[in-house]
Amino acid sequence: MGDIRDAPILKSILFGGLVAGLYLLIYFVLHASMKWCIIFSITPLAMLIIFLLVKNPYWSLTLLFILNYTVFGLARYILPGLKPGILIDAVIALVLIGLFIHSLRGIVHWNFLKNDLTIIVSIWLVFCVLNLLNPLAPIEAWIIGVRRTALYFFIFPILTFLLFYRYKDFKIIIYIWSFLILLAVLKAFVQKYFGFNAAELKFLYVEGRARTHIIYSGIRYFSFLSDAANFGCAMAFSMVFFSISVLYVPHKLLKIYYVIVSFCAAYGMLLSGTRAAIVIPFVGYGLFFIFSKNTKMIFGGAILLISAFFILNFTQIGQGNTYVRRMRTAFQPTKDASFLVRVENQRKMRMYMANKPFGVGIGTSKASEYSTSEVSKIPTDSWLVMVWTETGIIGLIVYLTLIGYILIKGTYILFKIKNRELWGIECALLVSIAGIYVASYANEVIAQFPNGPIIYMAMAFIFMAEHYDQNMTKPKHA
C-alpha cells in the first residue's frame, strides 16, 4: 500500500477537513457558548472512541458493566439531566453493532447461545411482547417499562455468552466489580463523615428523597447509586459473593483483598440502613452451608445463622448502634409503619387485580400517567409486586417458574463442576442471586442499575460454568 503522501486526493481531503474544522472551531469560539465549543472540540475524540468500541465489542461490554454501576453517579454529579437508561441503551447499541459487524466476518461464537438460559430469557421476552395484546396495556407505558421488565433480562445474558466466554473474562469482571464496590463504599463513607455535596443535597431536598433517607432512626446513605435501598442490597449481594469466594481463591493476596472487599461491602450495607438487605446474607449463607455438603460447615453455619437471628430478634444487643437498631426492625415488621403501609397497598391491589389475570400492562407502575387503572396509582415498593401488577397472576407465575428453573438448573450445573476454585465462585454467585430474589419482595432492586444487569450477567456466568471447567481441567500438552 502506498504512502498517503503519494495520494493527492486523500491529501486534499484531509487538508480541507482540517481547514474546515479550524474554521468551525473559531466560529464557535466567537459566536457560540462555551458548552458548544467543548462539545465540538471533543467530537473527534468521541467519534474515535465510538469507532474503537464498535470495532471491539468485548471492550464495549466491559464499558457497559462499568457504566451500569456508575451511571447514576454520572447523572447526579457530572451530567445533570442525563437519563441513565438512555446512556445504557446507547452502549448496548454499540455492542450490538459491533457484534453484527463481527458476525459478517464469521467470528462470533453463536454456539455459546445453545443453553437453557437463552431459552428461558427468550420465553419471558416473548411473554412480555405478547402483553401488548392486553387491552389495559398502554403502548407508551410498555415502551418505557419493557426494558427493565424483559429486555435487560434478555440482552445481558446473551451478550455475556457471546463475549465473556473465557474464564479470564469472568475473572476480569469480578476484579472490576470489586473495585467498583470499594468506590461505592468510599463514597458512602465520605457522605457520612464529610457530609453531602450540592448534588446530593439537591437529590435529598429538591427531588424529595429526604423523606425516605433522613428518617427518625438516622440517615440512610446511598453512595453514587440511585437510592439507599439499591445501595444496601447491592452491598449485601457483594458481601455474600466475595466472603464465600475468599474460601476458594488460591492466592493469599487475593484472599486478603476479597476479605477487605467483603468487610467494606458489609459496612456499606449497614450505612444504607436497608432492612430488606439483611435477608440476602441469611438466604445466601444458608444455601452455601447446605451446598458445601460439609457436615461441620452445615452444623457450624446453622448455629451461626440461628444465633444471629436470635440476637437480632429476641435481644437488645447492639441496640445503641443506629444501623443495628434499624436492621433489627426487619424482624419485627408488624411494628414498622412503612411495612404496614405496604401491606395495606397490597390489600388494595388484590381487590383491583381480582379480575385482571394479565395485569394492567407493562410499565404502568412507573408511567401511571398513561393508564386509567387504579392499580397504577398505588406504589408497588417491590419487584415481585410490580411484576404481579403489570403482568397479572399469570405473568407472576410464569416469571417465578422461570427464575425457579434457573436456580434449580444452576444448582445442577454447580455439582458437575470439578475445579474447586470455580465451584466456590459459581456457588457464591448462585446463592447471592437466590438471596437478592428473596429480598426483591420488599424492594424493586432488580429493576435498578446496577443490580439487575449484574444478576443477569451472573446467571450467564453460572450457565457457562461447565465450559469454563472443561478449559480449566483439560490436560495440558507439552
344/457 same-domain check: yes
458/382 same-domain check: yes
157 burial via Cβ count (<10 Å: 0-12, 13-18, 19+): buried
CB-CB contact of 275 with 322 (8 Å): no
3-class secondary-structure state, position 366:
coil
Residue 316 maps to a domain = yes
Q: Among 53, 84, 108, which residue terminates a domain?
A: 108
Residue 11 maps to a domain = no
The per-residue pLDDT string of the chain (478 residues; one tens digit each, 9 = 90 and over) reads: 444 444 565 456 555 655 665 555 555 555 555 555 555 556 666 666 777 777 888 999 999 999 999 999 999 998 888 889 899 999 999 999 989 888 887 778 899 999 999 999 999 999 999 998 888 878 888 888 899 999 999 999 999 999 999 999 999 999 999 999 999 999 999 999 999 999 999 999 998 888 888 887 778 999 999 899 999 999 999 999 999 999 999 899 999 999 999 999 999 999 998 888 889 999 999 999 999 887 777 777 778 788 777 777 777 776 666 767 677 766 666 666 666 777 777 788 888 888 888 988 888 877 666 766 677 777 777 899 899 989 999 999 999 999 999 999 999 999 899 999 999 999 999 999 999 999 988 888 898 899 999 999 999 999 999 999 988 766 554 3
88/230 same-domain check: no
Q: Among 78, 93, 108, which residue terminates a domain?
A: 108
- Cα gap 152→64, rounded to integer Å: 12
81/229 same-domain check: no
Residue 52 maps to a domain = yes
The reported pLDDT for the residue numbered 158 is 96
Residue 156 maps to a domain = yes
The reported pLDDT for the residue numbered 21 is 58
390/283 same-domain check: yes
- Cα gap 420→161, rounded to integer Å: 22
The reported pLDDT for the residue numbered 167 is 93
Closest CA to 375 of 363, 362, 365, 387: 365
103/213 same-domain check: no
Residue 28 maps to a domain = no
Q: Among 61, 81, 108, which residue terminates a domain?
A: 108
Residue 217 maps to a domain = yes
Cut 0.85: pTM above it: yes
83/209 same-domain check: no
328/354 same-domain check: yes
3-class secondary-structure state, position 215:
strand
DSSP 8-state assignment for residue 477: P
103/115 same-domain check: no
- Cα gap 74→90, rounded to integer Å: 15
Residue 3 maps to a domain = no
Closest CA to 63 of 220, 194, 173: 173
77/144 same-domain check: no
Structural domains in the chain (count): 2
- Cα gap 271→187, rounded to integer Å: 11
Q: Which residues span the domain enclosing 85?
A: 45-108
Residue 8 maps to a domain = no
CB-CB contact of 417 with 201 (8 Å): no
The reported pLDDT for the residue numbered 44 is 63
235/157 same-domain check: yes
The reported pLDDT for the residue numbered 6 is 45
The reported pLDDT for the residue numbered 4 is 40
CB-CB contact of 393 with 202 (8 Å): no
Cβ neighbors of 257 (< 8 A, separation 6 or more) are: 178
The reported pLDDT for the residue numbered 329 is 67
Q: What are the contacts of 372-380 at 24+ separation with CB within 8 A?
A: 373/136, 375/349, 378/345, 378/348, 378/349, 379/345, 380/345, 380/444
CB-CB contact of 235 with 265 (8 Å): yes
92/182 same-domain check: no
Q: Which amino acid is at 426?
A: E
3-class secondary-structure state, position 416:
coil
- Cα gap 449→1, rounded to integer Å: 48
